[in-house]
Amino acid sequence: MKRRTFIVEKPSRVEAVLRGALALARDEAIALVDRGAVYVDGRRAKDAAARVAEGAKVMVVLEESGEAVTSPAPKAPKLVVLYEDAEVLAVDKPPGVTAQPTPGRVGDSLVDLATAYLRRQAGLVHRLDRETSGVTIFGKTPRATSKLAAAFREGRAKKEYLAVTASGLPASGVIDLPLSKDPTRPGRWRASQTANGISAETHFTRLSDDGAVAVVALFPQTGRTHQLRAHLASLGFPIVGDKLYGGAEGPRCLLHAHCLEIDALSIEAPVPEEIARYLT
C-alpha cells in the first residue's frame, strides 16, 4: 500500500489541498475523496469541498495492492434494504463484502454502503463474515445504535442461519462447546471441552438431506467469532465452501443469516439461490 502524509500549510478545501500537495487534477482529487482514500487528522474525509484547517494532518492512500486508487472503482454492490424506520436500517448483506472497512479495502464495506445510503454514519452493532450473506442491522442514530447493541449484548436478538454441509448430519441437536483460538491455524477457532475457551452454544435442526449434502437451520444462543463454522466442523460436518474449516468445494462458504428478531421486530433475508437449490 502506497501512502502520502503531509501537514496542511494554509486553510483550504480538501480537494484544493490534495491538488496542491499531490499535483492532481481537480477530478482526480475528488475521486480520491469519493473512494474513501483521504483521511484528515485520522478521520475519513467524506466531502471534497469541506474546509481543512491549518496544521491538519492529511493521509492519502494512493495505491492498494499495486493498483492506483484513482483508477476506476469496481461497481459497488447494490444495497438491498429489507426494513427501515426512523431508528433502524436492515439490509441483506451480499457475500464477498466485508462488514466494516479493513486495511487495504477502502469505501466498499457494508458500513460504507449503508452510510452512503443514509447520508450519515450507519451504526454497526453486529458483523457477518465476509463470505456470509444475510440480515445485518444498523442504528440510524447514536441512541438507536446503543439500544440495538444492548439487545445483542443481553441476548434479546434471536438469530437463525442456514448452512449447507455434507450429508448425514443428525436431525437436530445442541452443540455446547467452548471456543478458543487454534494455535496451529492462525485465524481459525477450535471447539473443544479440553481447551480453556469461551462458552458457546448452538442449536440446530436439519431441514433437508439429499444423500450428498444437507441444509441445516442454526440457532446460536451466543454470538462468538466463527461460532457456527467451528461448531459444525467439530461434529465433522464443516460448511460447504468453508476452506478454513475443511469444508467441501463450493462457490463460497454457504452460510446465510436468514432471520433476525429483536423484541417486536422480525426481519428475514431471502434464501440465496446457491443454498435454496438444496432445499428439497
* Residues designated catalytic: 129
Give the residue carrying C-alpha cell 438444496. 278
The C-alpha atoms of residue 247 and residue 164 are separated, in whole angstroms, by 10
Does residue 86 sit in helix, strand or coil?
A: coil
**Residue 255 in grid coordinates:** 452460510
- Torsion, Cα of 93, 98, 101, 103 (10° steps): -170
Instruction: Report how many helices (DSSP H) and strands (DSSP E) the chain contains, helices first.
Output: 6, 19
With beta carbons less than 8 A apart as the criterion, state whether 255 and 229 touch: yes
Give the residue carrying C-alpha cell 448430519. 169
The C-alpha atoms of residue 67 and residue 85 are separated, in whole angstroms, by 39
Environment class of 16 (CB within 10 Å of its CB; exposed 0-12, middle 13-18, buried 19+): middle
